Amino acid sequence: MANNITPVRAGAVNVPFGHVIGHEKWKGSQIAQEMQGKIKLILEDGLGVVDFHLPNRSCVLYVSEADLVAGNGFKRRLVRFRNACNLQGIVLVEKTQISNQYFPEVQKFVVLELGMTLLPVASQKEAAQLIVQLVHEQTKSSNPFHSKKSTKFLESSVFHTVQQIPGVGKTKALLLLENFGNLHQLCNASVQELERIVGHSLAQQIHTFFTQTK
């Protein structure tokens, strides 16, 4: 393979949403046909080692059954991609009855050594469907697994935490929080201060709970 070819397409960061830029070698392939109508596929040359550029800085590298059987050539391609850019690499691997035996080793290499993403597909048809879903997911605004760093109220959690103190139930927990305001104040309360809220023995118990060392 000529070394003067750029490993990735210049300007690959800016693929419009809903579009896929594919390597021209996929022209007329089943993968390209299956994507037609579902997604805007543009075929170009100069994509280097990448098979498809997706929006949102991600790329698909396709490893066929034949690549797996042929040996380690595909690994060089993945390493070349990994070294060339910081785009997200998604490796689609044709996992079939024939290539199945190679899969565990390939997965270790791609995911654990290179830190890339790997998804098995059984055929080009499945690969096309998966790429369509990957692009749709990027266009969707709400990903259920993105933790929304919401400024949610922590009252019920704090209330629950205080009830972990031995001898403290709901009623006492509420009393303690109303009087001390937060966990920090509560942890620093003296026996005398605690006694004003709860009975003597519980005040002792709470104080011991906060101050006892190993």
Residues contributing to the site for other proteins (CB under 8 A) = 90, 97, 103-104, 107-108, 111-112, 117-120, 122, 126, 129-130, 132-134, 136-138, 143-147, 153-161, 164-166, 170-171, 174, 177-178, 181-184, 187-188, 209-214
CA-based R_g, the chain, Å: 29
CB 20, min distance to other proteins, A: 14
* Residue 109 · residue 75 · CB < 8 Å: yes
Q: Which one, 6 or 38, has the nearer CB to other proteins?
A: 38
Residue 79 or 158: which CB sits closer to other proteins?
A: 158
**What residues contact residue 20 under an 8 Å CB cut-off, 6+ apart?**
35, 39, 40, 41, 42, 52, 53, 54, 131, 135
DSSP-based three-state secondary structure for 198: coil
- Write down the least CB distance from residue 110 to other proteins, Å: 10
Residue 140: CB minimum distance to other proteins, A: 8
Report the residue number, 30 or 46, with the smaller CB distance to other proteins: 30
Cβ closer to other proteins: 6 or 56? Answer: 56
Helix, strand, coil % in the chain, rounded to nearest 5: 45, 15, 40
Q: How far is the CB of 46 from other proteins (least distance, A)?
A: 26
Name 92's bridge partners: 62, 119
